[in-house]
Amino acid sequence: MTLTTVLETLDTDRDAALERLFTLLRIPSISTDPAYKPECRRAADHMAADLQSIGFNATIRDTPGHPMVVGHNDSAGPDAAHFLFYGHYDVQPPDPLDLWDTPPFEPRIVTRPDGTAMISASGAQDDKGQLMTFVEACRAWMSTAGKLPVRITIFLEGEEESGSPSLPGFLAGNADELRAEAALVCDTSMWNRDTPAICTGLRGMMSEEITIHAASKDLHSGLFGGPAMNPIRVLAKIVASLHDDEGRVTLPGFYDGVHETTDDVKAQWAALGFDPAEFLGGAGLSVPAGEADRSVMEQLWARPTCEFNGITGGYTGEGFKTVLPAQASTKISCRLVGDQDPHAIRAALRKCVEDMLPADCTVSYIEHGSSGGIALSPDNPSVRRAKTALEDEWGVTAPTIGMGGSIPVVGQFKNLLGMDCLLVGFGLDDDRIHSPNEKYELSSFQRGARSWARILDALSRPAA
Q: CA 50 from chain center: how many Å?
A: 23
Q: Cα(252)–Cα(247) distance, rounded to whole angstroms? A: 15
CB nearer a second copy, residue 62 or residue 307: 307
- Considering only residues 70 to 109 of the shown chain, the ones binding a second copy according to CB under 8 A are 92-93, 95-96, 99
Kind of pairing between the strands at 327-336 and 204-213: antiparallel
Residue 207 C-beta: closest distance to a second copy, Å: 6
Residue 162 C-beta: closest distance to a second copy, Å: 5
CB-based contact 82:153 (threshold 8 Å): yes
- Considering only residues 303 to 332 of the shown chain, the ones binding a second copy according to CB under 8 A are 303, 305, 307-325, 328, 330-331
Per CB under 8 A, 461 contacts a second copy: no
Q: Running DSSP on this structure, what letter comes out for residue 147?
A: S
H or E stretch covering 84? strand 82-88
Q: Which of 49, 6, 1, 50 is nearest to 147 (CA)?
A: 6
Q: CA 303 from chain center: how many Å?
A: 18
- Considering only residues 155 to 194 of the shown chain, the ones binding a second copy according to CB under 8 A are 161-163, 189
- Considering only residues 335 to 354 of the shown chain, the ones binding a second copy according to CB under 8 A are 335
Pattern 409-448, a second copy, x by CB under 8 A: --------------------x--xxxxx------------
CB nearer a second copy, residue 227 or residue 395: 227
CB-based contact 383:400 (threshold 8 Å): yes
In sequence order, what DSSP letters do the residues of 187-235 get, joined into one string?
-SB-SBTTB-EEEEEE-EEEEEEEEEE-SSS-EETTTSBTTB--HHHHH
Pattern 263-302, a second copy, x by CB under 8 A: -------------x--xx--xxxxxxxxx----x--xx--
CA distance from start to end of the chain: 19
Among 29, 333, 340, 370, binds a second copy (CB under 8 A): 333
Who's near 279: CB < 8 A, 6+ residues apart?
A: 296, 429
- Considering only residues 242 to 261 of the shown chain, the ones binding a second copy according to CB under 8 A are 243
Among 4, 34, 78, 273, binds a second copy (CB under 8 A): 34
Residue 216 C-beta: closest distance to a second copy, Å: 3
Give 335's strand partners. Answer: 205
CB nearer a second copy, residue 9 or residue 92: 92
Residue 110 C-beta: closest distance to a second copy, Å: 17
- Considering only residues 354 to 413 of the shown chain, the ones binding a second copy according to CB under 8 A are 358-360, 368-369, 403-406
* Angle between helix 128-145 and helix 442-459 axes, rounded to 10 deg: 50
- Considering only residues 139 to 158 of the shown chain, the ones binding a second copy according to CB under 8 A are none
Q: Is the torsion defined by CA of 173, 60, 129, 462 positive or negative?
A: positive
Residue 112 C-beta: closest distance to a second copy, Å: 18
CB nearer a second copy, residue 103 or residue 404: 404
CB nearer a second copy, residue 65 or residue 107: 65
CB nearer a second copy, residue 148 or residue 205: 205
The per-residue b/e assignment along 365-376, b for 16 or more CB within 10 angstroms, e otherwise, is: eeebbbbbbbeb
CB nearer a second copy, residue 153 or residue 299: 299
Q: Which of 170, 253, 174 is nearest to 206 (CA)?
A: 253
Residue 385 C-beta: closest distance to a second copy, Å: 27
- Considering only residues 212 to 241 of the shown chain, the ones binding a second copy according to CB under 8 A are 214-230, 232-233, 235-237, 239-241
